[in-house]
Amino acid sequence: MGTPRVRLTPLGSLYQVQGSIWQIQQGRGNLLTDIGTNMHATSRLFPGGSRIRDNRGIDDALRLNLLPHVDGIYREDAIVDSSILEEAEDVDPTDLLGTHKHEDHLGQLHALHPSIRVHVSRAAAGSLHAAHVCGQGLKSETTHYTERRPHPTERGILERPRNGEVLARPLQLVDGPPTDAMLAMWRAAGSDAGLSQSDMIAGGIPFRAHGVDHSVFGAVAYELLTAQGPVLHMGDLRLHGSMGHLTERLISHAEKNRPRLMLLEGTRLGREGEPEVTERACAATISKLVKGAGRRLVVACVGPNHLERLGAFLGAAQRSKRRLVVSPRTMVLLEAMGAADPYYDMSRQPGLALYDPPMSARPRWHKELRERNQHRLIPPEEISKDARRFVLLRAHLSNNDLLDVKPHGALLVYSSSAAYSDHARSEHAALGLWAQMFGMETEGIAFSGSRCDYDPRLNPSGHLSHEDIVEVVDRVRPEILVPHHCAQPEMFKDIAPKGVRVVIPEVGRTITLR
């Protein structure tokens, strides 16, 4: 027998902000990288915040081509119509390598068959667990799940048994063993079975995990040590954040260990000369704005998983003798991240407070959160009464919460990562109406009817700049370069140096190394 071939097949969408999912095979070994949501298609099919039907399991997603039509990767209990994948190709992976906790990369984890081992960083695991604790329905079943069963009287409907057993997915941590706090958090959710340090083998292929800088903590690139040479999946990454040194370390490693094949994102390829703002510069701008807000409330609009930017607002609040008030869901995320990886723990920082909205009924997780944080509860009327003492983080809060806070004349600071879906742009336009209603001054975003313009000083990208992509390709010089997560993959042919072969992938078409 000769050296086994290595085959790479994209199963999900490849371009724009899409559902990332690759199948990688060596001999009989089989693994996936990521299982993301096709955000472009989803926002068009479900505008205005409408959602896919939960009680149909994953059937609707399969029928709408929001999940790849392949067999052997999905939960059998979450499929109503067993014939839906009758003619689908069998994939049957043993492992999944998760690059980071963003919707377009791990947003369909709830659909994954529970026998498949999921390898992620500790920070990503913590973020996934927070989504499970605070979420509802099938979509929330990231780290734990309960098997569905057919409804006893309604045809074509699934139900979650009221007292069904809570099971844990086999989560393998690529950057160390689980902490005691993490194990306790898993047990509190129902089970810590399968939560362990990764053996660094996926689909029979040894691999290395390299931490990288991205707009979410815990992002990872994977180097698969295949029989045909190293295959490097760079995930999503950048150089201009607080973890830029990790990305630089990976690039230097790849220079010395030339990959046979490199998967590289090209989100910003073709946008030459675009302003490059570092996270440090963005934090300085935030600090200046908060300090200059005077007696006004500051409303901070930040992505729900962008904890680096949250940290910038927390630091600005501390320096201005204010308190950063976060939503209950955000506090759960901070606690989960701190338990999973103490390096990222912000939950115990001075100046952090918990928004305490009036509710007719509170879920169990919310009641327990309030008990743990009694000394930090801030009701909306306290913010209204003494606005100058607070920065209100809008992540995981709705516009309706503004009616309780009454932020008249507040300073609204919008600060995100410049990757906006159609649904996000629609939400931003609605935010403009609310800002106008309360007479809020805005920074970071300008509203003009249904159009929104974003200030680059407050919206650094989570991705490599055009110039950085060119530099990475030139320094690493893989034998084969495969672009993904980009709108203009053909442009990679223009920037690839001599000796680098660019292969433009197509969904379902296999790239073979032999």
Q: In tens digits, what is the pLDDT along the chain, a chain of 514 residues?
A: 689 999 999 997 666 556 789 999 999 999 999 999 988 888 888 876 678 899 999 999 999 999 999 999 999 999 999 899 998 999 999 999 999 999 999 999 999 999 999 999 999 999 999 999 999 899 999 999 999 999 999 999 999 998 999 999 999 999 999 999 999 999 999 999 999 999 999 999 999 999 999 999 999 999 999 999 999 999 999 999 999 999 999 999 999 999 999 999 999 999 999 988 999 999 999 999 999 999 999 999 998 899 999 999 999 999 999 999 999 999 999 999 999 999 999 999 999 999 999 999 999 999 999 999 999 999 999 999 999 999 999 999 988 999 999 999 999 999 998 655 555 666 788 899 999 999 999 999 998 877 889 999 999 999 999 999 999 999 999 999 999 888 889 999 999 999 999 999 999 999 999 9
Residue 498 Cα distances to 346, 467, 493, angstroms: 46, 18, 10
pLDDT recorded at residue 455:
95
Q: Give the chain's length.
A: 514
Q: How far is 6 from 424, CA to CA, in rounded Å?
A: 38
Dihedrals phi, psi of 352, to nearest 5 degrees:
-95, 135
Quick check: 46 and 28 in contact, CB under 8 A?
no
Q: Which residue has the tokens 């990503």?
A: 124
Nearest to 296 by CA among 409, 435, 432: 409
Residue 4 Cα distances to 25, 231, 232, 512, angstroms: 10, 14, 18, 11
Q: How far is CA 169 from the centre of its chain?
A: 18
Q: Which residue has the tokens 């340090």?
A: 197
pLDDT recorded at residue 70:
94
Axis crossing angle, helix 307-319 with helix 279-291, rounded to the nearest 10 = 40
End-to-end Cα distance, the chain: 13
Count other Cβ atoms within 10 Å, centred on residue 170. 15
Helix ranges (H only) for 6-146 are 39-45, 59-63, 103-106, 122-134
The dihedral sign for the CA sequence 156, 87, 512, 486: negative
What residues pair up with 202 in beta bridges, in sequence order? 205
The dihedral sign for the CA sequence 146, 29, 208, 9: negative
Residue type, 125: A
Instruction: For the domain made up of 6-271+462-513, give the CATH fold.
Output: Metallo-beta-lactamase; Chain A (3.60.15)
**Bridging pattern class, strands 144-145 and 167-168:** antiparallel
What residues pair up with 222 in beta bridges, in sequence order? 209, 233
Residue 99 tokens read as 């690059």
Nearest to 12 by CA among 1, 4, 21, 24: 21
Residue 156 tokens read as 């074509």
Q: How far is 194 from 92, CA to CA, in rounded Å?
A: 19
Quick check: 234 and 265 in contact, CB under 8 A?
yes
Dihedrals phi, psi of 243, to nearest 5 degrees:
-105, 25
Q: How far is CA 384 from the centre of its chain?
A: 33
Nearest to 267 by CA among 106, 420, 59: 420
Q: How far is 80 from 69, CA to CA, in rounded Å?
A: 15
Q: How far is 11 from 25, CA to CA, in rounded Å?
A: 13
Dihedrals phi, psi of 317, to nearest 5 degrees:
-65, -45
- DSSP letters spanning 116-142: SEEEE-HHHHHHHHHHHHH--SGGG-S
Q: How far is 473 from 255, CA to CA, in rounded Å?
A: 10
Residue 314 tokens read as 């927390």
Residue type, 326: V
Dihedrals phi, psi of 32, to nearest 5 degrees:
-115, 155
Q: How far is 289 from 299, CA to CA, in rounded Å?
A: 11
Q: How deeply is 382 buried, as exposed, middle or buried, from its count of CB atoms within 10 A (0-12, 13-18, 19+)? A: middle
Quick check: 480 and 501 in contact, CB under 8 A?
yes
pLDDT recorded at residue 425:
66
Q: Does domain 279-458 have CATH number 3.40.50.10710?
A: yes
- Give the alpha-carbon dihedral of 343, 444, 245, 478, to 10 degrees: 120
Residue 394 tokens read as 């809008």
For the chain, the domains span: 6-271+462-513, 279-458
Q: How far is 126 from 107, CA to CA, in rounded Å?
A: 15
Axis crossing angle, helix 364-372 with helix 328-340, rounded to the nearest 10 = 70
Dihedrals phi, psi of 383, to nearest 5 degrees:
-65, -45
Q: How deeply is 270 buried, as exposed, middle or buried, from its count of CB atoms within 10 A (0-12, 13-18, 19+)? A: middle
Three-point CA angle 201, 19, 121, nearest 5°: 35
